Amino acid sequence: NQAIRVLEDKGRICVISYHSLEDRIVKHLFKEAEREEKERKNYGLKIITKKPIRPSSEEARDNPKARSAKLRVAEKIIKLKG
């Protein structure tokens, strides 16, 4: 939440998670912030990656630790008052 608050307009937040529980937290945080966009008066969040980006089969083969990685990206949208 704090990372989203300090982002500038059009700033993007990228989160890599390695465990399903971590990914679930990120997914819910992004979705909640996107849903609240309609209710907030000053800023919102637009999810860029609707599904997480996964490593290619080549990357997973060359780097076994990357196999479970998931990347999610969102962009902050600052609303103008008025």
DSSP letters of 1-66? -HHHHHPPTT-EEEEEE-SHHHHHHHHHHHHHHHHHTTT-SSEEEEES-SS-B---HHHHHH-GGG
Residue spans per domain, the chain = 2-78
Q: What is the pLDDT of residue 38?
A: 65
At residue 77 the predicted structure's pLDDT band, cuts being 50, 70 and 90, is confident
Asked whether the whole model's pTM tops 0.75, one would answer yes
Fold of 2-78: Rossmann fold (3.40.50)
Q: How many Å apart are CA 12 and CA 3, to the nearest integer?
A: 10
Q: How do residues 19-35 score in pLDDT, each as one tens digit?
A: 999 999 999 999 988 88
